Amino acid sequence: MLCLAVSLGQSLEPEPVMVFPPEINLQAKGRQQVVVRHGLANGLTADLTREAVYASSDPAVAVVEQGVVRAQGEGLAKLRVEAAGQVVNVDVFVGAKPGNHRLSFTGDVLPVLGRAGCAGGSCHAKPKGQNGFSLSVFSFDPAADFREVVKDERGRRVFPALPAESLLLKKPTLAVEHDGGRRFEVGSPFYQIIHDWISQGMPYRLPGEPALEGISVFPGEQRYAKSAEQQLVVTARFDDGSTQDVTHLADFSSSDKEIAGVDHDGLVRVGTLSGEGVVVVRYMGEVAQARITVPTDRRFNDAVYAGLPRNNFVDDLAYARFQKLGLLPSDLCSDPEFIRRAFIDTIGLLPEPAEVRRFLADESPDKRAKLIDRLLDDPGYADTWANRWGDLFRPNIARVGLKSAYTIDNWIRECFAANKPYDQMVREILTARGSTHKVGPAVIYRTRREPATLTTLFSQAFLGVRMECARCHHHPNERWSQRDFYQFAAFFAETKRKGTGISPPISAGTEFIYHAPGGSVRHPVSNEVMQPTPLAGAPLATPAGIDPRETLADWLFAPENPFFARAMANRVWGQFFGRGIVHPVDDFRTTNPPTNPELLDAVAADFATNGFDLKRLMRRIMNSRLYQLSSIPNKTNAQDKGSFSRFYRRRLSAENLHDILVQVCGVGSRYDNLRRDARAAELWTTIMDSPMLESFGLPNASRNCPVERDDRPSMVQALHLMNSETLQAKLADKNGRAATLGQAELSPGQVVDELYLSVYSRWPSADERAVAAAAFAVDGAKRQQVVEDLTWALINSAEFVFNH
């Protein structure tokens, strides 16, 4: 396979030089950043913007310096670009200069304040501002910013009679003391814009001034060689169809500086590692991204990828991404690895030795598919997946009472046991009404009592969007504003409650959730009554007498909804692979894009078109070759962190690890209010006195859902497995597995086989068997003690603690 590889550094025939934009249209005093690049036959692109030689055919119309074209006067000129031995000519059109060039706060001054850093979270956009001067984060509230600049403190920040004496100019130029330091120079373009605006009477918006609709960045997605550079161009789009280069006014940041960094002018500098990163671009509250792909140092022939074995469309789309990155997938995992992985991911247990023997002896080609089907029908599936879903909705008993907590937990388990369609589950939650002692989903409204808190929960759980920031201010990493937040919250304005309410620490009484007309949500700043509006949508009218939550549910499950199916498909994917295609799994945003957008869209579409069937979605994922890859990396994918070219090892969850330890030791644990043989996966509350569960990440019962688990290994966990008195007691129990094997008429080698099959779901190697069996021959060795010691040694290993 490697014989088909081509070095990316190899000299290949270059493609023609390309200039962006292909033609330039400017207004008076306008400017345009140019990008010059040429593609190589190996699929990569070289940026020549800073190497190119530029010339204008008519400097009276336009001049060019370091790739920036500036308008000088009305007319038509040619921009001559010479690079890589080629010449490209670009038309430059400059419109007529208006008789009186007017400036506005929204169109000219606010972008300058943003680029100068004044509207940043570390400066005047702090929650309480800076030294009495407060601006909105990323200029999301222009009207409030205008009042602050022009009218606050009796207008002391601007001086129309002598604009140069305005504090708005004197402080950022250090003419007077300024804690934020110098932000621009006297006479600079930024200075002149603010100066002229003040002298023109400080208009907020000009008559007929177009409104900003969004921004785009070029190039939006591209493959780069290591250590390459790339100039970005940011273009603003307005509602009158016009566009404007705002590269010099935009803010740039990198999601992964090891992959690529970016400076304040939009120049990307690629690092020396392979992988993918994102450059986030912000301008006036709008956000865009440039995806940076850095392939490995070797490129493989198309025939290599065409010949890779694949099981379904998941593999097709994953391999397409691998090819862009220069990755090859790891080998197929072994049968012992697969059966252990599949059992843990579906029912949260290990296969028993007899099950492992049967599976390893089975030579049928479809034995993995058959095992998947059987596991998804196992009763343990519902408990395991209900436990995982409980992290989203499991309430604090101190707030809702024991019976209410049990009611919602039981409802979740019934849903997974019946394989209830996911859209039906969510509709029952969104439109819940009735007693919190009888209707599981109604309990959510007992603990989340305000439209705002319901908004943060449901947007994160069902849309994969974290809206908490937008409750107080414009989201710093996304387009969502306070208005978006409270318009969504308005869907819950007519949700009412009656009954005993919340009275911690008892809260034992029942409460009834119902709908009744009346009630509203107001914007916390403007006090405007908000109309129920979905994210990125138009207001939705609800007929009189109908619960607005029903309208929200209809929108949520509509085929054109861009959030719902993708959010759940990604959440389920994350459970099987240890991370989502978008990660964290419930943090969809422009600044956190999917590592494989085509794959996520395809999995989500398959989920939606097949009735939101969760088991079918899981079956599709588990049957893919991608899920069945080995966790052992090859030479191309050792650095892969998010493309799934190998299986990512991950530590077992607290409940899974506890149940597996019980299974391996053969001795159960007792839980209050549960039957004697209950598993940790059946717990309906996280209020537990269990050092083992706590050390391995059992969520804090006092935290509001959804909760995020810390799945990182720690020294505390290792010490617990080595020294836990409870675990030692289970190993030494007279009715446990160690005692049974110690008394069984088996040879030492057979006992070792049984232990390895129980703990690792595989046969021991010849060396492992020999070393372990030798422990039985030590003078004075007691057979059961040896079995206990061997079991202890096996469970205190990464192979046991990790799903791999």
Question: What tokens appear for 455 in the block?
Answer: 């908004």
The CATH number corresponding to 2-94 among 1.10.274.10, 3.40.1160.10, 2.60.40.1080, 3.40.50.300 equals 2.60.40.1080
Q: Where are the beta strands (DSSP E) in 44-120?
A: 45-47, 53-56, 62-65, 68-71, 75-83, 86-94
Q: Is pLDDT of 6 > 50?
A: no
Domain chopping of the chain, boundaries: 2-94, 105-199, 212-298, 381-556, 654-803
The mean pLDDT value for 321-335 works out to: 95
Domain pair 2-94 / 212-298, same fold: yes
- Position 13 scores a pLDDT of 53
Per-residue confidence at 127, pLDDT binned at 50, 70, 90?
A: low
Specify the residue for token string 């509509």.
558
Give the β-pairing of 68-71 and 31-33: antiparallel
Distances (CA, A) of 675 to 623, 671, 682, 765: 35, 8, 10, 39
The mean pLDDT value for 734-755 works out to: 94
Specify the residue for token string 């006036």.
284
The mean pLDDT value for 38-51 works out to: 86
- Position 505 scores a pLDDT of 52
Q: Is pLDDT of 506 > 60?
A: no
- Position 583 scores a pLDDT of 94
The mean pLDDT value for 345-354 works out to: 98
For residues 524 and 298, which has the higher predicted lDDT (pLDDT)?
524
Find the helix packing angle between 597-609 and 313-325, rounded to 10°. 170
Which residues sit opposite 288 in a β-bridge? 281
Q: Is pLDDT of 706 > 90?
A: no
Residue 118 near residue 124 (C-beta atoms within 8 A): yes
562-598 core/surface letters (b: 16 or more CB in 10 A; e: else): ebbbbbbbbbbbbbbbbbbbbbbbbbbbbbbbbbbbe
User: 682-694: per-residue pLDDT in tens?
Assistant: 888 877 778 888 8
Q: Is pLDDT of 730 > 90?
A: yes
Instruction: Give SS3 for 549.
Output: helix
Question: What tokens appear for 350 in the block?
Answer: 């290990």
Distances (CA, A) of 625 to 307, 313, 321, 351, 356: 14, 10, 15, 21, 21
User: 510-554: per-residue pLDDT in tens?
Assistant: 899 999 999 999 999 889 999 999 998 999 999 999 999 999 999
Residues in the chain: 804
Least confident of 84-98, 462-476, 482-496, 640-654: 462-476
Distance CA 317, CA 301 (A): 17
- Position 269 scores a pLDDT of 97
Distances (CA, A) of 451 to 499, 638, 717: 19, 46, 40
Q: What is the mean pLDDT of the chain?
A: 91
The mean pLDDT value for 634-650 works out to: 94
- Position 2 scores a pLDDT of 36
- Position 477 scores a pLDDT of 66
Burial class (CB in 10 A: 0-12, 13-18, 19+), 341: buried
Domain 212-298: assigned CATH number: 2.60.40.10
The mean pLDDT value for 49-69 works out to: 95
